Chain A
Amino acid sequence: MKHKVSTTVNGRRHEHEVEPRLLLVHYLRDNLGLTGTHIGCDTSQCGACTIHVDGKAVKSCTMFAVQAEGKSLTTIEGLAKDGELHPIQQAFWDEHGLQCGYCTPGFIMASAYLLSQNPNPTEDEIRRGLEGNLCRCTGYVNIVKAVQSAAKTMSTAPAKKATVAAGGN
């Protein structure tokens, strides 16, 4: 039996009939074609699938699509606005915070949530805040740097910070 699910994703409304067992991450990727959200595990360890659900970072493989009913979602594709990179995206680019880039959308989304909660995190807070995401390429060194540098940029551009806290819509 299929269920109806209606969501707002990156500011756009969507309605689909889906199987109840369909994971949110598969819904985003297969039904909406938003393939920036990645799948790196079967056990909710890697965080490659991290998105924002009503402004909060969520591993989208831990939710069924039907659980997103009525919710507002932001994926990595919704972060850049008007052709301008989000400061966190820019910082990952500037600081070489990615190599293969597979974990990156998840890290950026998790970092965006972290900075929305704690705009000036210490290094330790960054490390604790991103513990749910795994990267096999970077040794995390430049990911930490990227988040630090984004925090700096964003504290001088408060408008952008507010956008993230509101779930990017």
Chain B
Amino acid sequence: MSSHNMIEIRGLDSHYKGRQVLFNIGFAIPHKKVTVIMGRSGCGKTTLLRHLIGLKPSESGRVFVEGQDMGSFDEKGMANYRRRIGVLFQSGALFNSLTVSQNIAVPLKVHTRLSDETIRIMSLIKLHLVGLADFLDYMPSQLSGGMRKRAGLARALAMDPEILFVDEPSSGLDPITAAGLDDLILELRETLGMTIIVVTHELESAVKIADQMVVMDRGNLLAVGTPDEIRSSQDETVLRFLRREAEEQQVNTESYLSRLLGRQYKAGENSTRRQGGVR
């Protein structure tokens, strides 16, 4: 039912220089709901996000925005789509040559014809939202990692986007500020009816804010459902992820040793020594 879905992903594969990192991802992101994407580091969450915001081109017929194929967007279609979205990048991605308030003003200046004074007030409102109102004139390099994240969120919110993408909003934040961000996200969904996609590692915060949870593992989709459904899942890997258990992995001492010592080594080979003892 595409009318209830903001974004639909079908059979999405993704490659970096020939290495496949996403395998046949397919799920839907419902309107005006919070979708949380979880998964271990390096499993392809950011990559998936890049597809959804049009930074990494997907094959035609893979990503649909309100039923329209993103692969068939022309320049204008893409520009329209981008006007409707706000993105918080994993690193914050503030423009380092601009002050915090200028950073937040950029989207407003690009997309609107508001007066400078209006823009100033609007940026201030967004900075208040994330608790950075006192840092208007700071340069990004003068902010802490967590503050940069929050300033990035303020910039993502500058245009009151219909769809908000946030890549790990709470990494590098203390628990109290992180909880504040969770509340903010719920608030945005309630008051502005935003469709919000959050990538996070924090299980607790995911359960708190998610209407829908998506669990990924090594580029594959593991499970999609409400937090309750996910928690009652029978899938071994999902459960392990929820219980935060480390995976049992095969121990191969010989190959570990040979990797550590930087030699090629086959079990049972009884060669006499090559030269070069200690490296």
Do A and B pair up? The answer is no
